[in-house]
Chains A and B, each alone.
Chain A
Amino acid sequence: MKAPLSTLIAIICCAVVLLAYFLPFEPVQNISQLIINWAVSLSGIAMLVAIVSLLSSHWQKIRQKRSSDRYSILVIFGFGLTFLIGLVFGGPGSLDYQNVVTHMLLPIEAGLLGALTIGLTVAAFRLYRANRGWMTIVFGISTLLFVLLNSGIFTTGTGLDIPLIKNALGVLQRLPDAGGRGILLGLALGTITAGLRILLGIDRPYNS
């Protein structure tokens, strides 16, 4: 086994945090909390390192003699400006800083969101090109059905105040929740086994 010490530390940390989640013993919970606090602090530092790596990557892109990237200049300029505004107005907690940044970010993100809306509408039609067999038909029918259901057309002003129909519509409206829960249960099971691979020292992302 490569780097047994780091593997041992990872296994012990995993076991303590897992046990603290299930067992209400105060000493184990205190140690678990300490480990989680360390992880949060390290994650903050990792973000700083990642930002420096991002800036250096864009700086190298600008300096490339062949096909220099002009957009990288904008990234570095935008970062520098935001950082400077933060220093002047007193950091992310300051209301002035939030106002300035929000007024820059909102229009940009709203523009992207607009493009995304059109893209998603086109994607709904593009599904037929994707050729996913009978699932395409199910998708089309369920989209129509739920648009109609959520518009309230079946419940308001139509005189369909019959308990049986109301119950049937209720069941239909719950179907997406049921499907979503099914997917989430599958994801949860996958998460358990992925976590256990770390706990058993089989998966060692920190040491190839």
Chain B
Amino acid sequence: MTSNSTHSQDISPTDTKTKLTLTILSVWHIIFTVGALTGALLLWQGTTETADWLKIIFSIFLVLGAIFSVLAVFSIRQRKHRGRAISLAVNYLGFLASFFGLLHVTGFFTGIDSLGENFSKGLPYMGLAFVGYLIGSVGDRYQDNRPSIAQKFRKTAQVLGALGGILFLFAVGIIPGILSFISEFTSLPPILLLLSTIIFGVMVWLMWREPTRIAMNTRSKDQLMMEGYLFLSPNLIGFLFFFAGPLLFSLYSSFTDSDAFGNANWIGLENYQEIFNITIEPLEYIDQLAKEVINIEVYDELYRFNIFGKHYVIGAEDQLFWISLGNTIKFVLLAVPMSVIPALLLASVLNSKLPGMKVFRAIYFVPSVAAVVGVAMIWRWLYNSTVGYLNYFITGFVEFVNSTAGSQLLTDPQVGWTSDTQVALISVAIMAAWQWTGFNTVLFLAGLQNIPGVLYEAATVDGANPWQQFWNVTLPMLAPTTFFVLTTTTINAMQIFDQVFVFTRPPGGPGTSTTTIVLYLYKQGFQNFRQGYASALAWVLFLLIFGLTLAQYMRQRAGDEAI
């Protein structure tokens, strides 16, 4: 230890306090290394029911922590900035892990439920705090000419805000919450976690302080780096934990027969094989039974077709996947044009600088803010085959035409919007297009407003009529927007779920006429609990979407070059 301090003195002059700090940090890192390695070993000794892969991940983290701790000790001795960076990273991550671990074991996260229970009692006080905020913002108007009044307003606002906040906390039960939090500290894990949270926290603080920073020869560039990671860390860690991690796990899971209850065996490509496994066999005559030509223990009949006078039957191992894929493609082909073409039309009209356009734009956007579930309920009612408005309007129209023509020109179709297997998917597409049109209109409008007016002036000088202008100026200039709108709408349409789940009874019905890929995935993953298979379906869907987007992108690029 003495040699350590004398050694470091050679590099930069440091006061005794800082030297002590660095010694404490080094000792801590040695203790931590030993602790982490022991922990990693103990993890495999005990009879805990933790899953193996979880143990592996924990062990990796602990061993990595230990290795970096050792590195940190050496670098701290040499007063290299790297040591500070490693030490801060290890301690910061340790701090976060123990802090969130503490919150977890003390039931903080599940305690949000009781907050939900009492939330309504706190709402009036929240309103009080909001009134305080409003008073404060009114006061800001006097800031320039009558600062004393602004000051008074701000005081009132602060008092009201604080009062509202405190009363809110009491109303939603902060005291029972704290009491139950404290009562958790009778067992060992919370106490240990609290202790380690404090220790890690103190270590981070010791290393972060200005004197230590100077002693560790941190340059401003290094400091900038540390700050960068620090600022990004909440986002990055959450992102890794809740998105990137699950994303990788999903890929792994698609190669297993995982069932959501912790049982998973590696089965390689079997899931994907099952999804894509199809067979084509020739038929001897047109209505020959499928079981005579294909192995019906594996395949279900999917489709029959006829080429050059010969009949064939297609069988698929997962018939429902192909049906849902077909439904999804049909849905995309219906809903995308229905929500993009009217949007383009409306946007071009809204772009004419007539009065009142903002009002119309505002109206068109309303469906996009409404919850899909609620919208589906409304449309179920509009689609009602006996008393719904849609059939009523159609009947009215048919009667009008017939009475004008004086003959039975049209017959009233009396569409079974939700009960007819031929129509149900169209009904869903109309509903979805209705909801998406306004959003697309706003996107197109923004694109149109970016087109320089000079181009139209030039076109007018050249004698182009409005239609030619639209075709030769607007559409080419709008291509990036169109690409964006088409891509996002297609991506949304490929993932259609909420609409069919709520709108159709039973979800995906009648029959399988509205079963889409995501709905099928949901049924496999959360009703049959074949989560590995569901993951494989998800990746197939992702690759489809990715391929489509790429293809649209290539086409747009090609189009750009042609111009």
Tell me if chain B binds chain A. no
- Measured CB to CB, the residues of A under 8 A from B are none
